[in-house]
Structure 1
Amino acid sequence: MLESAILLCGSVIGLALLLNLWRLLKGPSLQDRILALDTMYINAIALILLLGMHMGSPLYYEGALLIALLGFISTVAVAKYLLRGDIIE
């Protein structure tokens, strides 16, 4: 039962990744593209966590945490660049 739930969740998150890729490529504005990229890394974290559940290895959880930290920092940096035009003051 758990294996079929993981497969179903993985396929839905994979579909969400494809839709985010479409928004990233066809987004009407730069803000839409940044939001799509931010959502893509969140979906990638979810896929890595599902893979960790499937494999039963805690190493995947640490990788997902690392990607979450890097994604947050990159989102803050891009938002600051869009607001001020400069990242480091």
Structure 2
Amino acid sequence: MIGFLNIIVIICIIVFALSMLGMVYRVIKGPTLHDRVITLDAFGVTLMGMMSLVSIVLDTTYLLSVIMLIGMIGFIGTVGFAKFLEKGVIIENDRDNNS
């Protein structure tokens, strides 16, 4: 028999999957590029939550390193997109310019 906690976790996984479908729609149909970047960041956070719930269901800790990797890549990607949207470049090479 599946425990009560496992049923709740499976319901939460289904809710996360439905919210991720809504996020995919927002990434494709987003009104501005800024909305798409924020939605991609939220998608990464939701993916991390879903993977942690799968880790609970499978009763394993092996997915924790994958969750951390997704978090780091998502953070770097969001910062890179934000810097590109703000200035138009990601890596600045103006250390020799003192103006």
> Shorter-normalised TM-score: what interval?
over 0.9
Q: Shift of residue 35 of structure 1?
A: 1.0
- CA RMSD across the alignment: 0.7
Q: Which runs of 5+ in 2 are unaligned?
A: 93-99
Q: Which runs of 5+ in 1 are unaligned?
A: none
Whose helix proportion is higher, 1 or 2?
A: 1
Question: Aligned match of 2:15 in 9, 12, 16?
Answer: 12
Aligned equivalents of 1:39 and 1:22: distance in 2? 13
Aligned length: 89
Aligned partner of 2:27 in structure 1 is 24
Q: How many percent identity over aligned positions?
A: 33
Aligned partner of 1:40 in structure 2 is 43
Aligned partner of 1:53 in structure 2 is 56
Aligned equivalents of 2:57 and 2:64: distance in 1? 12
With normalisation by structure 2, the TM-score equals 0.87
Q: Shift of residue 56 of structure 1?
A: 1.1
Aligned partner letter, 1:67: I
With normalisation by structure 1, the TM-score equals 0.96
Aligned partner of 2:66 in structure 1 is 63
Q: Deviations over 1:13-68 (max 9, x none)?
A: 00110010110111111111111111111111011101111111111111101100
Structure 1 consecutive aligned stretches of length 4 or more whose deviation exceeds 2 Å:
none
Aligned equivalents of 2:68 and 2:43: distance in 1? 15
Q: Shift of residue 75 of structure 1?
A: 0.3
